[in-house]
Amino acid sequence: MNKRTTLPLLSTLLALACASAAEPPTDAAQTAPLRAGDPVPSVTVRTAGGDEVSLRHLTATQPTAIIFYRGGWCPYCTKHLMALAEIEDELHGLGYLLLAISPDRPEKAAETASESPFRYRLLSDASASAARAFGLAFRIDDETVEMYKSYGIDLEEASGESHHLLPVPAVFLTGLDGTIAYAHADPDYKERLDPAAILEAARAALLPAADVE
Protein backbone atom coordinates (compact mmCIF):
# COMPACT_ATOMS: atom_id res chain seq x y z
CA MET A 1 0.00 0.00 0.00
CA ASN A 2 1.59 3.34 -1.08
CA LYS A 3 1.36 6.72 0.66
CA ARG A 4 -1.34 7.99 -1.71
CA THR A 5 -3.56 5.06 -0.70
CA THR A 6 -2.64 5.05 2.98
CA LEU A 7 -3.33 8.70 3.76
CA PRO A 8 -6.97 8.80 2.53
CA LEU A 9 -7.65 5.51 4.32
CA LEU A 10 -6.20 6.84 7.58
CA SER A 11 -8.25 10.02 7.21
CA THR A 12 -11.43 7.97 6.71
CA LEU A 13 -10.73 5.77 9.73
CA LEU A 14 -9.95 8.83 11.88
CA ALA A 15 -13.18 10.50 10.81
CA LEU A 16 -15.16 7.37 11.70
CA ALA A 17 -13.45 7.13 15.10
CA CYS A 18 -14.29 10.77 15.85
CA ALA A 19 -17.90 10.29 14.75
CA SER A 20 -18.39 7.23 16.96
CA ALA A 21 -16.88 9.06 19.94
CA ALA A 22 -19.02 12.19 19.45
CA GLU A 23 -22.08 12.76 21.59
CA PRO A 24 -25.15 11.45 19.71
CA PRO A 25 -27.68 14.12 18.68
CA THR A 26 -31.10 14.40 20.27
CA ASP A 27 -32.78 14.66 16.88
CA ALA A 28 -32.88 11.63 14.59
CA ALA A 29 -32.71 13.97 11.58
CA GLN A 30 -29.28 15.17 12.72
CA THR A 31 -27.62 11.75 12.57
CA ALA A 32 -24.98 11.10 9.91
CA PRO A 33 -25.32 7.47 8.75
CA LEU A 34 -22.47 5.74 6.96
CA ARG A 35 -22.70 5.67 3.18
CA ALA A 36 -21.78 3.36 0.33
CA GLY A 37 -18.02 3.05 0.12
CA ASP A 38 -17.45 3.43 3.85
CA PRO A 39 -15.76 0.50 5.65
CA VAL A 40 -17.82 -1.80 7.85
CA PRO A 41 -17.09 -0.62 11.42
CA SER A 42 -15.11 -2.86 13.74
CA VAL A 43 -17.69 -3.31 16.50
CA THR A 44 -18.83 -6.11 18.77
CA VAL A 45 -22.45 -7.14 19.17
CA ARG A 46 -24.03 -10.04 21.04
CA THR A 47 -26.10 -12.96 19.88
CA ALA A 48 -29.53 -13.72 21.34
CA GLY A 49 -27.68 -16.25 23.50
CA GLY A 50 -25.42 -13.54 24.91
CA ASP A 51 -22.19 -14.44 23.10
CA GLU A 52 -20.02 -11.58 21.85
CA VAL A 53 -19.27 -11.57 18.14
CA SER A 54 -17.43 -9.23 15.79
CA LEU A 55 -19.67 -7.70 13.13
CA ARG A 56 -16.73 -7.64 10.73
CA HIS A 57 -16.17 -11.34 11.37
CA LEU A 58 -19.84 -12.11 10.65
CA THR A 59 -19.76 -10.20 7.37
CA ALA A 60 -16.31 -11.35 6.18
CA THR A 61 -17.30 -14.52 4.31
CA GLN A 62 -20.43 -13.50 2.40
CA PRO A 63 -22.37 -10.41 1.34
CA THR A 64 -24.57 -9.29 4.19
CA ALA A 65 -27.79 -7.34 4.66
CA ILE A 66 -27.64 -5.53 8.02
CA ILE A 67 -30.93 -4.19 9.34
CA PHE A 68 -31.02 -1.75 12.26
CA TYR A 69 -34.32 -1.57 14.13
CA ARG A 70 -35.43 0.16 17.34
CA GLY A 71 -36.49 -2.90 19.32
CA GLY A 72 -39.02 -5.68 19.67
CA TRP A 73 -41.32 -3.22 21.48
CA CYS A 74 -41.73 -1.11 18.33
CA PRO A 75 -44.76 -2.17 16.20
CA TYR A 76 -43.26 -0.60 13.07
CA CYS A 77 -40.08 -2.63 13.61
CA THR A 78 -42.02 -5.83 14.20
CA LYS A 79 -43.94 -5.29 10.97
CA HIS A 80 -40.68 -4.70 9.09
CA LEU A 81 -39.01 -7.77 10.58
CA MET A 82 -41.94 -9.88 9.46
CA ALA A 83 -41.79 -8.37 5.97
CA LEU A 84 -38.09 -9.21 5.76
CA ALA A 85 -38.98 -12.85 6.38
CA GLU A 86 -40.75 -12.83 3.02
CA ILE A 87 -37.48 -12.13 1.17
CA GLU A 88 -35.21 -14.15 3.45
CA ASP A 89 -34.97 -17.14 1.11
CA GLU A 90 -34.35 -14.94 -1.92
CA LEU A 91 -31.56 -13.08 -0.13
CA HIS A 92 -30.01 -16.40 0.85
CA GLY A 93 -30.33 -17.55 -2.76
CA LEU A 94 -28.29 -14.50 -3.80
CA GLY A 95 -25.65 -15.50 -1.26
CA TYR A 96 -26.55 -12.94 1.41
CA LEU A 97 -26.49 -13.30 5.16
CA LEU A 98 -29.35 -11.42 6.84
CA LEU A 99 -28.78 -9.85 10.27
CA ALA A 100 -31.03 -7.56 12.31
CA ILE A 101 -29.57 -5.41 15.09
CA SER A 102 -31.35 -3.52 17.87
CA PRO A 103 -30.58 -2.03 21.31
CA ASP A 104 -32.54 -4.88 22.91
CA ARG A 105 -30.50 -6.91 25.37
CA PRO A 106 -29.90 -10.54 24.32
CA GLU A 107 -32.82 -11.87 26.34
CA LYS A 108 -35.21 -9.48 24.63
CA ALA A 109 -33.80 -10.34 21.21
CA ALA A 110 -34.31 -14.03 21.99
CA GLU A 111 -37.89 -13.30 23.08
CA THR A 112 -38.63 -11.49 19.81
CA ALA A 113 -37.09 -14.32 17.79
CA SER A 114 -39.10 -16.97 19.65
CA GLU A 115 -42.34 -15.18 18.82
CA SER A 116 -41.54 -14.83 15.11
CA PRO A 117 -41.48 -17.24 12.15
CA PHE A 118 -38.27 -15.96 10.53
CA ARG A 119 -34.94 -17.78 10.71
CA TYR A 120 -32.47 -14.90 10.34
CA ARG A 121 -30.41 -13.78 13.33
CA LEU A 122 -31.31 -11.00 15.74
CA LEU A 123 -28.31 -9.37 17.38
CA SER A 124 -28.08 -7.23 20.50
CA ASP A 125 -26.43 -3.81 20.46
CA ALA A 126 -27.47 -2.93 24.00
CA SER A 127 -24.48 -0.60 24.46
CA ALA A 128 -25.40 1.17 21.19
CA SER A 129 -21.78 0.87 20.05
CA ALA A 130 -22.82 -0.41 16.61
CA ALA A 131 -25.52 2.25 16.23
CA ARG A 132 -22.91 4.88 17.10
CA ALA A 133 -20.32 3.45 14.71
CA PHE A 134 -22.81 3.37 11.83
CA GLY A 135 -23.83 6.97 12.57
CA LEU A 136 -27.38 6.03 13.49
CA ALA A 137 -27.56 6.68 17.24
CA PHE A 138 -29.60 9.51 18.70
CA ARG A 139 -30.66 10.21 22.27
CA ILE A 140 -34.30 10.17 23.37
CA ASP A 141 -35.11 13.11 25.65
CA ASP A 142 -36.40 12.54 29.17
CA GLU A 143 -39.92 13.68 28.31
CA THR A 144 -40.18 11.10 25.52
CA VAL A 145 -38.70 8.39 27.74
CA GLU A 146 -41.47 9.06 30.28
CA MET A 147 -44.10 9.18 27.54
CA TYR A 148 -42.93 5.77 26.30
CA LYS A 149 -43.24 4.43 29.83
CA SER A 150 -46.87 5.57 29.91
CA TYR A 151 -47.35 3.33 26.86
CA GLY A 152 -45.75 0.41 28.65
CA ILE A 153 -42.38 0.80 26.85
CA ASP A 154 -39.36 0.88 29.17
CA LEU A 155 -36.23 1.59 27.14
CA GLU A 156 -33.93 0.91 30.09
CA GLU A 157 -35.55 -2.45 30.78
CA ALA A 158 -35.38 -3.37 27.09
CA SER A 159 -31.67 -2.59 26.69
CA GLY A 160 -30.47 -3.05 30.26
CA GLU A 161 -28.77 0.34 29.84
CA SER A 162 -29.57 3.92 30.83
CA HIS A 163 -28.18 5.69 27.74
CA HIS A 164 -31.63 6.19 26.14
CA LEU A 165 -30.09 5.77 22.68
CA LEU A 166 -31.99 4.43 19.69
CA PRO A 167 -30.84 3.83 16.13
CA VAL A 168 -32.41 5.42 13.09
CA PRO A 169 -33.92 2.42 11.25
CA ALA A 170 -31.53 1.52 8.45
CA VAL A 171 -30.46 -1.04 5.85
CA PHE A 172 -26.84 -1.65 4.89
CA LEU A 173 -25.56 -4.10 2.30
CA THR A 174 -21.92 -5.08 2.68
CA GLY A 175 -19.50 -6.77 0.31
CA LEU A 176 -16.58 -9.13 0.72
CA ASP A 177 -14.17 -6.21 0.45
CA GLY A 178 -15.22 -5.04 3.92
CA THR A 179 -17.07 -1.97 2.68
CA ILE A 180 -20.69 -0.88 2.54
CA ALA A 181 -22.13 -1.37 -0.94
CA TYR A 182 -25.54 0.18 -0.25
CA ALA A 183 -27.00 2.28 2.56
CA HIS A 184 -30.48 3.52 3.39
CA ALA A 185 -31.62 5.27 6.58
CA ASP A 186 -34.74 7.30 7.31
CA PRO A 187 -35.06 9.40 10.50
CA ASP A 188 -38.84 8.90 10.32
CA TYR A 189 -39.19 5.59 12.17
CA LYS A 190 -42.60 5.02 10.58
CA GLU A 191 -41.02 4.77 7.13
CA ARG A 192 -39.18 1.53 6.24
CA LEU A 193 -37.48 0.41 3.06
CA ASP A 194 -39.73 -1.95 1.12
CA PRO A 195 -38.39 -5.54 1.01
CA ALA A 196 -38.64 -5.49 -2.80
CA ALA A 197 -36.31 -2.46 -2.85
CA ILE A 198 -33.87 -4.30 -0.60
CA LEU A 199 -33.85 -7.24 -3.00
CA GLU A 200 -33.28 -4.95 -5.97
CA ALA A 201 -30.38 -3.24 -4.21
CA ALA A 202 -28.96 -6.62 -3.17
CA ARG A 203 -28.93 -7.84 -6.75
CA ALA A 204 -27.39 -4.60 -8.01
CA ALA A 205 -24.68 -4.72 -5.37
CA LEU A 206 -23.49 -8.07 -6.73
CA LEU A 207 -23.03 -6.76 -10.28
CA PRO A 208 -19.63 -5.59 -11.54
CA ALA A 209 -19.32 -1.80 -11.47
CA ALA A 210 -19.37 -1.63 -15.28
CA ASP A 211 -22.76 -3.36 -15.37
CA VAL A 212 -24.30 -0.89 -12.92
CA GLU A 213 -23.32 2.21 -14.88
Query: Higher-confidence residue: 187 or 6?
Result: 187
Residues in contact with 73: Cβ distance below 8 Å, sequence separation at least 6, in sequence order: 153, 158
Q: How confident is the model at residue 116 (pLDDT cuts 50, 70, 90)?
A: confident
For the chain, give the mean pLDDT: 90
Fold of 64-206: Glutaredoxin (3.40.30)
Q: Determine the angle formed by the axes of helices 195-206 and 75-85, rounding to 10 degrees.
A: 50
Query: Span 116-128, mean pLDDT?
Result: 93
Given a contact cutoff of 8 angstroms between Cβ atoms, the answer to whether 124 and 112 are in contact is no
Q: What is the pLDDT of residue 74?
A: 96
SS3 assignment for the chain: CCHHHHHHHHHHHHHHHHHHHCCCCCCHHHCCCCCCCCECCCCEEEECCCCEEEHHHHCCCCCEEEEECCCCCCHHHHHHHHHHHCCHHHHHHCCCEEEEEECCCHHHHHHHHHCCCCCCEEEECCCCHHHHHCCCEEECCHHHHHHHHHCCCCHHHHHCCCCCEEECCEEEEECCCCEEEEEEECCCCCCCCCHHHHHHHHHHHHCCHHHHC
% the chain with pLDDT above 70: 88
Alpha-carbon span 84 to 55, nearest angstrom: 20
- 71-99 per-position pLDDT tens digit: 999 999 999 999 999 999 999 999 999 99
Q: How confident is the model at residue 12 (pLDDT cuts 50, 70, 90)?
A: very low
- 146-155 per-position pLDDT tens digit: 999 999 999 9
pLDDT at 119 over 50: yes
Q: Where are the domains of the chain?
A: 64-206
Q: What is the pLDDT of residue 138?
A: 98
Q: What is the pLDDT of residue 181?
A: 97
Query: Span 89-115, mean pLDDT?
Result: 96
**Of the ranges 11-15, 127-131, 184-188, 207-211, which one carries the lowest mean pLDDT score?**
11-15
Query: Span 22-46, mean pLDDT?
Result: 95
> pTM value?
0.87
